[in-house]
């Protein structure tokens, strides 16, 4: 394919790392553990893994196809591939979902910065599990501090976005991802060897299928989409910068494997530690932040300097992992405004950052001063999470599957997935079968079941 003047990722490793950088983030380290905790443990994880395999990988390949074939932002891509049809609304819904997720995600992305300061000033020393819970609640419900961190975080995202694709996105992913991975392994080993950790390991490994209901299925599916950055055209936008010799199936498998490994590792840090110190696994969004300081305390309490060094490293890396994800969401919306409305990239980025700042502040305040404003028992923060992860992303995935499975000509899919015949790919048939039948039916059943129209 002729490469137009849009920029491209510089190397093959860069492609995998940048996509993995988008996928690996708070979704794995913060959201996966708390959703697992809310939904009863091992059975949820098994269903999650099935969702990654059956829905995640095929839909990721579909997004890669759309992006690289069209070489445009997500809404523009549908217009190029299906001119004059309503398919571009799938892209537009994705842009909206990206904007909404970025808003509340940045709130959580700011929290590690507070913990970074806390760790650097020795604030963890001598605290018990209960005190960590109290201090988290006191922090998150304050009006000002979380908002300052949120702002700082959005500004950092903004700066990377205006520096452009290769310099900004690719470089930050290349260095940080491997370091994060090693640190997670170290922390998992520490957590698993805490006294009393075995109950947590059992929670992760012994499925209790009697607890599986519709909300577990929807939760696992939503988490798979969220964690793999699917359903809103994020990886489609990244694929528009892929080189024409990048193998789409291999990249999809690698990204899904890295992402899943990081999530499971995070589980092996959080649950053994939570059970060891008596924190409830269903503590919700605070779970990571109230559990982790205990690991540093308990495992390294006797060598305070090591505890401080490791906790500093962890919070820096968590913030960077979040940053490589926020960049990818910001890029979806910025590329859309830039290409569809002919705004300069810089101006588009400013609008996105400003909009997210306003919505992000509302989400942050909804955890404290605004917590009495609820809808169906959910705060604004919860509503953003629910509507995006559990409705918009799976719906986006459903439509993407239909688009590739039924609308696009299969020869074109074969051509693009095999890089115009230079790669031998045997899976196109299977891929199309899954996208035609399996994915739409599975997502449809989970949705209908959740609406209460049928009961599994």
Binding residues (CB under 6 A) for ligand TRP: these are 22-23, 25-28, 101, 226-227, 229, 231-232, 234, 325, 328-329, 393
Based on CB atoms, which residue is closest to ligand TRP, 263 or 307? 263
> Could you tell me the sign of the dihedral formed by the alpha carbons of 370, 371, 375, 378, in that order?
positive
What tokens does 126 get?
């001598």
What tokens does 22 get?
């988008």
Instruction: Give me the least distance between CB of 268 and ligand TRP, in Å please.
Output: 17
Based on CB atoms, which residue is closest to ligand TRP, 72 or 197? 72
Cα–Cα distance for residue pair 122/406, rounded to 1 Å: 58
Cα–Cα distance for residue pair 79/438, rounded to 1 Å: 26
Based on CB atoms, which residue is closest to ligand TRP, 231 or 249? 231
Instruction: Give me the least distance between CB of 443 and ligand TRP, in Å please.
Output: 15
Q: Nearest 5°: phi and psi at 378? A: -110, 140
What residue number has its CB nearest to ligand TRP? 27
Instruction: Give me the least distance between CB of 415 and ligand TRP, in Å please.
Output: 27
Based on CB atoms, which residue is closest to ligand TRP, 17 or 299? 17
Instruction: Give me the least distance between CB of 255 and ligand TRP, in Å please.
Output: 10
In this structure, are residues 222 and 394 in contact, taking their beta carbons and an 8 Å threshold?
Answer: yes
Based on CB atoms, which residue is closest to ligand TRP, 240 or 328? 328
Distances in Å between the Cα of 420 and the Cα atoms of 60, 175, 295, 410 are: 19, 32, 51, 13
User: What is the rounded (10 degree) CA torsion for 427, 429, 431, 436?
Assistant: 180
In this structure, are residues 444 and 398 in contact, taking their beta carbons and an 8 Å threshold?
Answer: yes
Neighbours of 207 (CB within 10 A): 16
Based on CB atoms, which residue is closest to ligand TRP, 27 or 219? 27
Based on CB atoms, which residue is closest to ligand TRP, 333 or 404? 333
Based on CB atoms, which residue is closest to ligand TRP, 190 or 255? 255
Which residues make Cβ contacts (< 8 Å) with residue 108, sequence separation at least 6?
26, 30, 285, 322
Instruction: Give me the least distance between CB of 231 and ligand TRP, in Å please.
Output: 6
In this structure, are residues 291 and 313 in contact, taking their beta carbons and an 8 Å threshold?
Answer: no
Instruction: Give me the least distance between CB of 428 and ligand TRP, in Å please.
Output: 25
End-to-end CA distance of the chain: 46
Instruction: Give me the least distance between CB of 50 and ligand TRP, in Å please.
Output: 18
Q: Nearest 5°: phi and psi at 377? A: 75, 5
Based on CB atoms, which residue is closest to ligand TRP, 247 or 325? 325
Instruction: Give me the least distance between CB of 422 and ligand TRP, in Å please.
Output: 30
Instruction: Give me the least distance between CB of 183 and ligand TRP, in Å please.
Output: 17
Please state the separation of Cα 226 from the chain's center in Å. 5
Q: 3-state SS of the chain: helix, strand, coil percent to 5?
A: 75, 0, 25
In this structure, are residues 133 and 279 in contact, taking their beta carbons and an 8 Å threshold?
Answer: yes
Based on CB atoms, which residue is closest to ligand TRP, 129 or 248? 248
Instruction: Give me the least distance between CB of 408 and ligand TRP, in Å please.
Output: 22
**Largest Cα–Cα distance in the chain?**
67
Please state the separation of Cα 340 from the chain's center in Å. 26
Based on CB atoms, which residue is closest to ligand TRP, 120 or 179? 179
**DSSP summary character for residue 183:** H
Give the three-class secondary structure for 197. Answer: coil
Instruction: Give me the least distance between CB of 256 and ligand TRP, in Å please.
Output: 11
What tokens does 425 get?
């790919």
Q: Which residue blocks in 278-407 are alpha helix, DSSP H? A: 287-300, 304-340, 345-365, 380-385, 393-402
């Amino acid at each position: 394919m002729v490469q137009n003047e849009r920029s491209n990722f510089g190397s093959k490793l860069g492609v995998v790392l940048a996509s993995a950088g988008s996928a690996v983030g708070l979704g794995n380290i913060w959201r996966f553990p708390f959703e697992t905790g809310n939904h009863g443990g091992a059975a949820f994880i098994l269903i999650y893994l099935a969702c990654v395999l059956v829905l995640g990988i095929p839909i990721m390949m579909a997004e890669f196809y759309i992006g690289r074939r069209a070489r445009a932002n997500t809404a523009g891509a549908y217009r190029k591939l299906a001119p004059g049809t309503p398919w571009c609304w799938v892209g537009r819904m994705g842009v909206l979902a990206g904007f909404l997720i970025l808003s509340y995600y940045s709130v959580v992305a700011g929290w590690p910065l507070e913990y970074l300061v806390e760790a650097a000033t020795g604030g963890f020393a001598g605290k018990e599990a209960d005190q960590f819970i109290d201090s988290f609640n006191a922090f998150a419900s304050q009006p000002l501090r979380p908002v300052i961190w949120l702002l700082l975080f959005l500004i950092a995202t903004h700066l990377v976005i205006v520096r452009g694709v290769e310099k900004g996105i690719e470089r930050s992913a290349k260095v940080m991802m491997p370091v994060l991975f090693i640190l997670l392994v170290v922390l998992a080993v520490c957590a698993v060897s805490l006294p009393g950790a075995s109950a947590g390991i059992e929670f992760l490994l012994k499925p209790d299928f009697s607890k599986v209901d519709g909300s577990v299925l929807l939760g696992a599916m939503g988490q798979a989409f969220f964690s793999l950055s699917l359903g809103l055209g994020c990886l489609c936008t990244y694929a528009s910068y892929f080189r024409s010799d990048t193998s789409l199936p291999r990249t999809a498998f690698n990204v899904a494997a890295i992402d899943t490994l990081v999530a499971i590792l995070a589980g092996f840090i959080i649950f053994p530690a939570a059970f060891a110190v008596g924190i409830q696994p269903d503590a919700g969004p605070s779970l990571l932040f109230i559990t982790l300081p205990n690991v540093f305390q308990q495992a390294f309490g006797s060598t305070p300097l090591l505890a401080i060094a490791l906790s500093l490293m962890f919070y820096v890396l968590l913030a960077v992992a979040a940053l490589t994800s926020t960049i990818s969401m910001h890029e979806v919306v910025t590329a859309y405004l830039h290409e569809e409305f002919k705004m300069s990239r810089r101006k588009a980025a400013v609008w996105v950052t400003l909009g997210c700042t306003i919505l992000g502040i509302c989400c942050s305040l909804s955890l404290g001063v605004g917590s009495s404003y609820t809808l169906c028992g959910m705060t604004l923060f919860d509503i953003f999470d629910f509507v995006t992860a559990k409705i918009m992303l799976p719906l986006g995935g459903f439509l993407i599957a239909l688009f590739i499975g039924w609308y696009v000509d299969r020869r074109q899919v074969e051509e693009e997935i095999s890089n115009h015949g230079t790669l031998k790919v045997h899976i196109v048939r299977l891929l199309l079968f899954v996208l035609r039948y399996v994915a739409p039916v599975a997502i449809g059943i989970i949705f209908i079941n959740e609406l209460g129209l049928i009961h599994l």
